[in-house]
Structure 1
């Protein structure tokens, strides 16, 4: 399940020495009312204690929904509304733009009561559960069990349930659909024809079923997570893709409390609050999904590169948040000049690797370079797309490499390989995904492709030096 399950590369040394819990500042909870409280018993960790939850006593009976079982993840009395009141969520998003995740979570739980649930993926979405706990309000948590998760993720689920005294409401894919897919295409068809079909069966459809029992849901999406898909997400919105219990467009509200928070700050919060985390994080896993489609990231890589690594950067979504992807107006700008390109409808992305010691190659220029059997000087060239966050992520390393090689016989170049140039780059230049780095030796007719995904300057330098 892909709910904002990413953060910067986590070092095991940090994880093994978490910062002790700190006391909450009073300013974090100024919106809580001292009245209308109910006392009940709850379990947290291995001890039982009495807690006060700021919830209204209501005589209305809690409705049972067939999709996500109500009251499965917590106990207490919820505020219940028969209908979601008309609300200008664009206006609310602007009002909450500078609000803290805790304030946003409190607003969401206050407004929707039992009709809202937190989507938990087994990664740093646990921050959402911690924020919910801190509001003092009852809350529900659900998760998608695809049947292909890591053992560590299942163990993490169990730890979280015990820590917070909750029961996660699991949703499962349809057994018949999974059976037909595996029997017809095998267990790993996604490596050949893309992950969308498998994700649709194992994630999207179970999620759709879960959300049909709700009026709102909470996700851990952040703007800094994924290239081209999450840069403009608001803290609250009418869900553009899924329907809620009332059915129809506009029947479901989506809350993104950490949308404006950077991954590093999420992890500072987790360590400060001594929150349990998935053991995979200490092994270099940042964004965690299904076991066959997730791997650790390496130095210089964007956090999302650990997901569906065999596909292009713009395909790093499973469909759970497909509403983030806006329709493009017009086609991509072609060629290799320094002009930007329109992406997501309005934004313009500037060119990258723009330095005097990085030569911009045209199509004919790189064709001529590739044809030479005896070059007067070797070249290192990056095949890139300026909109690609992975290319952007290695910009500093590549520019530093160019500075180190400045004055040597090795020339440093770049070739924009998206748009109309992509087919050529795939056929003639070994392009599989962005960025691809090639070294053109002095006495070789075929360029050598950089085989590693470590994109720090030391690794790139070692690659270049190996062929001089």
Structure 2
């Protein structure tokens, strides 16, 4: 790399070629850890002074780039260390603080080394809070290449409204090409979304965070009862690494962790900020187009994400640290049942029949039943099963004495493989109707789980 020396005493460096009146033979090669300039008596040690070194024949480095500065200079720099701090204690101190106060604290502590992760959903509230602090802030987003058109238009609207440039991170083209060529465009419907999310979201995020010391997310405790109920307002990131490149080098801020989703929307309306037009179409939690759909009244907001999978799959990997190791087997339904036993059973009513494994097998084998049955295949830890408990119990009470039996079968743990193979279990809850004169059960396909919808399903088949 060549440099221009404007003054031997100041050792100012710009990026082109050496310019000196003496012969080129006087020029010494830079040593590791220092640059020995054309003036033999002027040595600048990089361990003492930061140098603005620009690579030759490279595009000008953006000041707001997410990539670490070390990626675009010719010699090592000494990073400024973040002061050692007990972030668990800080989280306790800020637990009752407002989102605006938490945001202000985060921006004050980390300055240009922190950025807001913006997904194109209601976490536009984070940008609004950042603006209200009056401090400079940065925003980045992951463009997976499979977002809704409405989300892309929303990105543009947000940039114009706040006068900012969102720093987009893209997946590696070679990795995407290999995945699509080997498995097709929609492999996640068959083998789960984790691989696709890893290529399109997790790895780009990892690259982005390598240039930061902290990041700000829109996680809330009420977003996903199974994985986010214990999210603190600030924490040392348990998964990703920051600029220093070691575990514990990245701090994660969640300013709205304790805020209810309804209050977020009240804030957005009060501040008259732009919102994604998909929200008016029933979308609450917004991700990639093939993996996101609107939710119906009574459904949890995360139920619109990866709806073909179990509840444990409602994280894409960006917040993998939310998944507790001791509960992962339980959430997957493949554990030994010990962890799941800690959850109280649901659908508890005298109007409901509790089916054992032998009972459901006998019911499934009968070709001529004396009466029809409706059965919910459930797991007590599943928040979506919990959400429909009231309506299903009410259905059982309505059908009492009608000639239709209402039952439940716990299909997680050791029974999950059977439920998937024989009871059409794709995700919890799965509702089946066993007619009087048909061996094969009929699966309830609708996501509407209110009493009237369930009753209409029964009346159409009994």
TM range (shorter): 0.7 to 0.9
From 60, 64, 69, give the equivalent of 1:71: 64
Alignment of 1:27-66 (within 5 A): none
CA contact (8 A) 1:72 1:168 kept: no
Q: Counterpart of 1:188 in 2: which secondary structure? A: coil
- Displacement, 1:301? 2.4
Aligned: 1:365 with 2:362: no
Q: Deviations over 1:159-187 (max 9, x none)?
A: 10111111111111111211222222222
Aligned residue in 1 for 2:387? 393
Q: Counterpart of 1:304 in 2: which secondary structure? A: helix
Choose between structure 1 and 2 for higher RCO, CA contacts under 8 A separated by at least 6 residues: 1
Aligned residue in 2 for 1:119? 117
Alignment of 1:135-174 (within 5 A): 135-174=133-172
Larger deviation, residues 295-304 vs 248-257: 295-304
Aligned residue in 2 for 1:348? 342
CA contact (8 A) 1:227 1:388 kept: no
CA contact (8 A) 1:334 1:420 kept: no
CA contact (8 A) 1:229 1:324 kept: yes
Size of the aligned set, in residue pairs, is 394
- Displacement, 1:332? 4.6
Could you tell me how far apart the structure 1 residues matched to 2:307 and 2:92 are? 35
Alignment of 1:206-217 (within 5 A): 206-217=204-215
- Displacement, 1:145? 0.8
Listed as ranges, the gaps of 5+ residues in structure 1 are 1-59, 74-80
Aligned residue in 1 for 2:3? none
Could you tell me how far apart the structure 1 residues matched to 2:107 and 2:170 are? 25
Aligned residue in 2 for 1:256? 254
Instruction: Give the alignment's TM-score, normalised by structure 2.
Output: 0.80
Could you tell me how far apart the structure 1 residues matched to 2:402 and 2:410 are? 24
Could you tell me how far apart the structure 1 residues matched to 2:52 and 2:416 are? 55
- Displacement, 1:258? 1.2
Could you tell me how far apart the structure 2 residues matched to 1:145 and 1:452 are? 31
Aligned residue in 2 for 1:433? 427
- Displacement, 1:333? 11
Alignment of 1:256-295 (within 5 A): 256-295=254-293
Could you tell me how far apart the structure 2 residues matched to 1:63 and 1:313 are? 50
- Displacement, 1:230? 1.4
Instruction: Give the alignment's TM-score, normalised by structure 1.
Output: 0.79
CA contact (8 A) 2:95 2:233 kept: yes
Q: Deviations over 1:239-267 (max 9, x none)?
A: 00000001101100000111122212211
Could you tell me how far apart the structure 2 residues matched to 1:62 and 1:393 are? 57
CA contact (8 A) 2:227 2:323 kept: yes
Could you tell me how far apart the structure 2 residues matched to 1:170 and 1:244 are? 18
Could you tell me how far apart the structure 2 residues matched to 1:248 and 1:186 are? 36
Aligned: 1:404 with 2:398: yes
- Displacement, 1:341? 5.5
- Displacement, 1:63? 11
Closer/same/farther in 2, CA of residues 453 and 331 from structure 1, 3 Å limit: closer
Aligned residue in 2 for 1:377? 371
Bigger-Rg structure (1/2) = 2
Q: Counterpart of 1:412 in 2: which secondary structure? A: strand
Aligned residue in 1 for 2:191? 193
Closer/same/farther in 2, CA of residues 333 and 161 from structure 1, 3 Å limit: closer
Could you tell me how far apart the structure 2 residues matched to 1:272 and 1:348 are? 42
CA contact (8 A) 1:227 1:314 kept: no
Aligned residue in 2 for 1:415? 409
Aligned residue in 2 for 1:92? 90
- Displacement, 1:323? 1.0
- Displacement, 1:375? 2.4
Could you tell me how far apart the structure 1 residues matched to 2:52 and 2:158 are? 25
From 129, 132, 135, give the equivalent of 1:134: 132
Aligned residue in 1 for 2:69? none
Q: Counterpart of 1:328 in 2: which secondary structure? A: helix
- Displacement, 1:227? 4.5
CA contact (8 A) 2:91 2:233 kept: yes
Closer/same/farther in 2, CA of residues 349 and 210 from structure 1, 3 Å limit: same
Closer/same/farther in 2, CA of residues 206 and 355 from structure 1, 3 Å limit: same
CA RMSD of aligned residues (A): 2.6
Q: Deviations over 1:277-318 (max 9, x none)?
A: 101111111111111111112233221121122222211211
Alignment of 1:218-233 (within 5 A): 218-233=216-231
